[in-house]
Structure 1
Amino acid sequence: MSISSDRIAWEEVIEAKAFVDMARISPQPFKDSVEFTCMPVGKGCAISLPMAPAVGLNRILALNDRDELNLAFEWMKTKTGRRHVQIRETSASHELRGWILDQGLVENGAWMKLTRPVPSAPLAMEGPVRTRLAGFDDAPIFGRLTCAGFGFPTELEPLWSCLVGKKGWACFIAELEGMAIGTGAMFMEDGYAWLGGGTTLAEYRNRGAQKALINARLNEGLAQGVSHFAVETAEPQEGQPNISYANLTKAGFTPSYIRQNYLLPN
């Protein structure tokens, strides 16, 4: 029985597919060492990586069916870390809100989902930052840069380095005067793309790296036959700067919906 009649939005589905694929291609010894697991459920998934500080690696997403949510929730309860369930606000029917209360979930911030169509022509790459598509030899530095930019422990570098050169993935490195300063990843399937892994080393922020990485991925998507792109960032708050949101909207992304984060009780 469905909690909501709303279908799962394509921008949710492509994101869930990206994380399912990330778990699939991650080396098994790495997954065993950090307890990284992912369970596909319906068109969504539940993903757990307890030592990761980010919500994105400890959550249930792209589900609004009662049975599927319960299946994912029971699985997630067996995991550790700061676990979340993400619910699209427009899908939050009275019945779904009752389910949230019944599980003892607590609101813990929200994400804005944004989308845009493919550009009609390649975007100009302006400014001092240059980008390049990472090759297999770049895998170690891609992993190191991504973890350093996000403030992740070094043990998680294989999570990102394993994406480089894999089918369906495009990984970019941003450089300033020959110095590698940032990263961005993109997962593509069936004409849709999800942008993730966008980060810049702290000492090089506000110099245009993320704008360059966004445009590089849009151009790559254009070349690969992508028709629509999806991405997410923290929900903008009045009076608080949100550089990620500003970069994305300047690049032609428009808000699609708010997705609330609900924290599982300990």
Structure 2
Amino acid sequence: MNSHFSQRSSPPEEEAIEVKAFLDLYNVSPSTLKSEEHFECLPINGGCAISLPSAPAIGLNRVLGLNSVNDLEEAYGWMNGRSGNRFLQINMDRAPAGTKDWILAKGLLEHGVGWAKLVYDGSSANLSEANSIRTRLVHVEEAALFGSMVCKGFNFPSTLTRLWSAIVGKVGWSCFFALDGDNPVGTATMYQSGTYAWLGGGTTLPEFRNRGIQKALIKSRIEHGLGNNVSTFAVETLAPAVGEPNISFDNLRKVGFRHAYHRKSFKL
């Protein structure tokens, strides 16, 4: 086998923190959920393959953080044994030539516009503008409410409430509510490992959208992370498409995130 086919490299830190978050999400999930929903995850050389067939989201049914042919072959074989939708996400600008040849040989087709990875440098934080919307950390006794709201916001089946409930109060995780009065109307999560943090789980109940709630939750997580020695925040969202509105991407850019790279999605 040619050397470029076996070449391995670790994912960049902004991708590694995302992998760690999903591995930990799997690890803290209840064993009953894993069994009943066929939730499985395979760590591979700094990346992973994750499968949760009942979840409609690409994020829980994909190969992430891998770019060598050897690693991709292992992940591809593992994913072939799973049901539901399955995807490969990869930064093609960083992929070796052999990996690009492997994707072509497998006949993998691009799916959608792909995802944008964005990064925020905590050393240049400028959050002087106060939040007009109140946010707060989720209490452990509110875990079920938090999980149900995330499911509603992302159109997940209610059986996956336990998935998101499981992270509330766990080491490394910080979960947030945005409030209308005293009532939670939006959710967000932050996973921290060392000085890096991954942001996810951002959603708003449909009747409260377009009020600046997600922007407030982004700022709250940055402020919380800065207070806990986070130096770099990473997040991903649907990549911008010409002529299509992208509120999530725009909100992140307005707060100060920079676009690090584009990650394509391929259907497995």
TM class, shorter-length: over 0.9
How far does residue 208 in structure 1 lie from its aligned partner after superposition?
1.1
How far does residue 103 in structure 1 lie from its aligned partner after superposition?
1.9
In structure 2, how many angstroms separate the alpha carbons of the residues matched to 1:261 and 1:145?
A: 27
8 Å CA contact 2:10–2:45 kept in 1: the answer is: no
SS of residue in 1 equivalent to 2:211: coil
- Indicate whether 1:24 and 2:27 are aligned: yes
The C-alpha deviation readout for 1:143-164, integer Å capped at 9, x for no partner, is 0110111111101111111110
| Aligned positions of 1:2-151 closer than 5 A | 2-3=4-5, 7-109=10-112, 110-118=114-122, 120=125, 124-127=129-132, 129-151=133-155
In structure 2, how many angstroms separate the alpha carbons of the residues matched to 1:150 and 1:160?
A: 11
SS of residue in 2 equivalent to 1:90: coil
SS of residue in 2 equivalent to 1:163: coil
Indicate the residue corresponding to 1:181 in structure 2. Answer: 185
Q: What amino acid does structure 2 have at the position aligned with 1:62? A: G
Q: What amino acid does structure 2 have at the position aligned with 1:137? A: E
In structure 1, how many angstroms separate the alpha carbons of the residues matched to 2:176 and 2:38?
A: 27
The C-alpha deviation readout for 1:24-46, integer Å capped at 9, x for no partner, is 00000011111111111111100
The C-alpha deviation readout for 1:153-211, integer Å capped at 9, x for no partner, is 10111111111010000000111122211100011001000000000011110111101
* Structure 1, unaligned runs of 5 or more: none
The C-alpha deviation readout for 1:101-156, integer Å capped at 9, x for no partner, is 222211002000000111547654322x2110112011011101101111111011
SS of residue in 2 equivalent to 1:143: helix
In structure 2, how many angstroms separate the alpha carbons of the residues matched to 1:24 and 1:179?
A: 30
Distance 1:120 1:241, change over 3 A: closer
Q: What amino acid does structure 2 have at the position aligned with 1:67? A: N
Indicate the residue corresponding to 1:241 in structure 2. Answer: 245
- Indicate whether 1:208 and 2:212 are aligned: yes
| TM-score, normalised relative to structure 1 | 0.95
The root-mean-square deviation of aligned C-alpha atoms, in Å, is 1.5
Matched length? 263
Q: What amino acid does structure 1 have at the position aligned with 2:222? A: L
Indicate the residue corresponding to 1:199 in structure 2. Answer: 203
- Indicate whether 1:254 and 2:265 are aligned: no
SS of residue in 1 equivalent to 2:93: helix
Q: What amino acid does structure 2 have at the position aligned with 1:20? A: L
User: Which of 161, 164, 169 lines up with 2:165 in the alignment?
Assistant: 161
In structure 2, how many angstroms separate the alpha carbons of the residues matched to 1:122 and 1:241?
A: 25
- Indicate whether 1:152 and 2:126 are aligned: no
SS of residue in 1 equivalent to 2:111: strand
How far does residue 2 in structure 1 lie from its aligned partner after superposition?
4.9
8 Å CA contact 1:125–1:215 kept in 2: the answer is: no
In structure 2, how many angstroms separate the alpha carbons of the residues matched to 1:49 and 1:134?
A: 25
8 Å CA contact 2:168–2:175 kept in 1: the answer is: yes
* Percent of pairs with identical residues: 46
In structure 1, how many angstroms separate the alpha carbons of the residues matched to 2:220 and 2:28?
A: 24
SS of residue in 1 equivalent to 2:43: strand
8 Å CA contact 2:4–2:96 kept in 1: the answer is: no
* Runs of 4+, deviation exceeding 4 Å: 1-7, 119-124
8 Å CA contact 1:60–1:84 kept in 2: the answer is: yes
The C-alpha deviation readout for 1:2-25, integer Å capped at 9, x for no partner, is 556765211110000000000000
Distance 1:2 1:33, change over 3 A: farther
